[in-house]
Chain A
Amino acid sequence: MDVTCHTEGQEAKVAIKGRFTFQDHTKFREMIAKVIGADMQRLSIDLGQVEFIDSAGLGMLLLVREEMRGKSRDVVLLRAQGQVKRMFDIARFDTLFTLEQ
């Protein structure tokens, strides 16, 4: 997994590339801790280059949602496709997140 982050005003934009799994999540966790600590108004997570996600990856996204909701901040998931989109459908993420393409 590779994770990058840049900010635009009060929005943090995190992009993930590769596999997002139980064994391969540490970079995301570390990046998210920094973003939450920076207290941005909005967080967007670009999943366009994530090739595979498991239930641990889904759980980590939900954890981010909880952390941001606790501060009344927005989280948007971008460009989920392929296996990731199908996992989002199974997990009914459209009822829990704003999903954008």
Chain B
Amino acid sequence: MPVLTALARVRIRCDGVDTDTCVHFLQRNAFETEGADETSPVIMLLDSPDEERLVRALQMPSLACVEVVAGMPAPLEPTVAAAGLPILLLSLTSATSYRIPLSNLFAKAVAARAGLDAGITETLETVLQEAIINSLVHGNLEVSSEGRQTLAGWEEVDRQIAARLAMPKFARRRLRLLATWQGDSIDVCVCDEGGGFAVSGVITAPDTAMSGRGLDIMRRLTQTMLHNQRGDCVTLTISR
């Protein structure tokens, strides 16, 4: 995840999050609220949001929505914007990410801010969905897709995912989406907290393959698709 310059002044909105947790988040991330005014961007903190609350939180003028977990240390979110550079950051646990149509919500939120047409928004949602599932399922939950060649295999994969989502060790791992846009392109970075993977080891799936087609779809629909060395972040660039 790229580290950019911290914002000078922000407003914090806490939805279902106690004051101490909000303060701790501010301190841990060195955000400043003193001197913020109605033009200052908003950071939303939420506790286990559902789809409806997340849609509200993603409405402008928020530039970041961060899920905080009761009883856990506030997450460190080093990625915020330099003044004047438009961004949208979403940081959620795996448990929350899996149960909502995240690609749809995030794509629409970016489209509203960047003024994207329906076709580009659809492309953005499509590539986001593939990247999000890779990060969530293979990264954070460490579930392989190899079993998806039969209906029974799919049932087993679903069972493994449900089991992992019930374990705090996996369920609390974060998925981070960061979108930036300027000029004629949009960059979206999708990062997980899994063990990473060797991108060079992934072979393009044949047409009849029942799994493994996600990377190919992302390659076809993006200008560039770049993985970091560890394989736990992918940056997708789409033409507007």
Contact = CB atoms under 8 A, between A and B. Distances in A.
Interface of A: 19, 21-26, 29, 32-33, 36, 52, 54-56, 58-60, 62-63, 66-67, 82-83, 86-87, 90-92, 95-96
B151 interface: yes
B207 A59 contact: no
Question: Chain A interface mostly helix, strand, loop or mixed?
Answer: helix
Given A33-B151, A52-B125, A54-B133, A62 B208 contact: yes
Contacts of A86: 122
A33 to B, nearest CB: 5
Nearest to B213: A55
Contacts of B211: 55-56, 59
B231 interface: no
Nearest to B149: A63
B148 interface: yes
B180 to A, nearest CB: 24
Interface residues of B, number: 28
Given A23-B99, A55-B211, A83-B126, 18 more contacts: A21-B129, A22-B137, A24-B101, A25-B154, A29-B155, A54-B126, A55-B214, A56-B148, A56-B211, A58-B213, A59-B148, A59-B209, A60-B210, A62-B210, A66-B208, A86-B122, A87-B126, A91-B217
Interface in B88-110: 98-99, 101, 104
B210 A66 contact: yes
Contacts of B130: 54-55
A56 B126 CA distance: 12
Interface of B: 98-99, 101, 104, 122, 125-126, 129-130, 133, 137, 148-151, 154-155, 158, 207-211, 213-214, 217, 220-221
A21 B207 CA distance: 18
B117 to A, nearest CB: 14
> Which 4 residue pairs across A and B have the least CB separation, nearest first?
A59-B210, A55-B213, A55-B214, A54-B129
